[in-house]
Every structure is written in structure tokens, then in C-alpha cells.
Chain A
């Protein structure tokens, strides 16, 4: 079973700053099946990035994804007030077929 570990658990930043979130897989995974989501309180997750680096429809270009193998990164180039939320990485594999990281909370400093 592939485990996705996200770090840090919480990131305290100010609007306008750059956010770098990490997702590490317990074994090498296909970047084609690595996605990132944003979740705000009381809402469902929202797809941001798929295929490790492709932005989903309507996602601003301040969000970018990169990585391969076991190490993946979500970068928010300049934080806007609406970007403070929890972010999850997700992978599709074998069993369990879909796994999620435990999340990184980006909070206002």
C-alpha cells in the first residue's frame, strides 16, 4: 500500500508570500496519477492539479505542481486571501486504488 505523507502539517504565511507544499510517496508512483486538491471549511475538496503538473479547469496560474517518483510539490506563487485552506495530494494506484495524503493547512500568519 502506497502512503502519501504531506509536509509541513501547517504552513503559516502572509498574503503575497510563496507557499511550497510537499507530498512524499512511500514508493515510486506514476506522476500521471498524482493530483492536488484544495478544501475550505464546510466545503468539498476542489481539484487543482492533475497529472502532477496540469492545472484543472479554471485554476489560476499562481498554482503549479511539479515532481516525479516519490517527491511532489504544490507551489502557490503569491498567496491570495482565498488561498488559505487545507491542501491534499492524491494518488491512484492498485489497492487501495485511491489514496490521499493527510493534508497541509495553509494559515494566515
Chain B
């Protein structure tokens, strides 16, 4: 049974870094078929794909244009998890953040529980 467990602070100050972690059970972050994504949801922006990491003989990342300059996703094979770092946050980054597993059909079949992150001083 695949489970994704998210962790991280719920409150971040403007201009600081938002950091979240997604621990995987029942699958591997180094899977040769799955991909590992971050998606956020807010009333103003709806569901917004942020980026992914995946392993195909080597590690790959790609990011949405809207966050590319500020975002990093890192896999951690020793803990079987992946993380999100979003720098220089503003109140517009306030959202519920989800980690998900991507399938070969380019959809998302397993999701973390979601984490509300509020950017406020």
C-alpha cells in the first residue's frame, strides 16, 4: 500500500524559504516508472503543478515556469523521501501543498494528506 506522508512548518514569513518533505512508503523515490511531484491549491490559483523529480538511470527535475527561479526539489534515497524548497516566498504562495506520485499516464494516483502553508509576518 503506497502512502505519502508530508511534514513541514505551516507558517513562513515573507521573503523566507518554504520547506516541505514527503516520505514515501510502499514505493521507492528511485523507481524507474514513477515520478514524484509537488502541487499546490489555493482559492485564487486553483490546482497548480509546481515541479517533479524522477530517476531514469540518473536524476531529473523540472519545474513550472512560474516558480522555476525559486524552487528546488531534492530526492533523498537514504530516507526514501523528497523535499520541496521555495525561496523568497510572498503571501501569494499561501496554499495547501500536496506531494503526489505521477504515473506513466501522466496523472497522479497517490497523494499526500496536504499541508496548509501560510505566508505571513
Contacts and interface: CB of A to CB of B under 8 A. Distances in A.
Interface string A53-93: 00011000000000000000000000000000000101010
B49 A51 contact: no
A95 B68 CA distance: 12
How big is the A interface, by class?
A: 20 to 34
A50 B64 CA distance: 22
Interface stretch (B7-15, B25-33, B85-93, B107-115): B107-115
Contacts, number: 56
Nearest to B62: A97
B105 A32 contact: yes
A96 B64 contact: yes
A45 B107 CA distance: 11
B49 A33 contact: no
Contacts of B111: 44-46
Contact of B49 (A46, A50, A97): A97
Nearest to A95: B65
B39 to A, nearest CB: 8
Between A37, A56, A96, A103, the greatest number of chain B beta carbons within 10 A of the residue's beta carbon is seen for: A96
Nearest to B52: A97
Contacts of A32: 105
A88 B111 CA distance: 15
Contact of B105 (A35, A57, A88, A96): A35
Interface in B87-121: 98, 100, 103, 105-109, 111-114
A45 B108 contact: yes
A92 B39 CA distance: 14
B49 A96 contact: yes
Contact of A51 (B39, B105, B114): B105
B109 A56 contact: yes
Contacts of A43: 114
A7 interface: no
Shortest 7 CB-CB distances between A and B: which pairs?
A: A92-B106, A44-B111, A98-B49, A100-B47, A35-B107, A50-B107, A50-B105
Interface of B: 37, 39, 46-49, 62, 64-66, 98, 100, 103, 105-109, 111-114
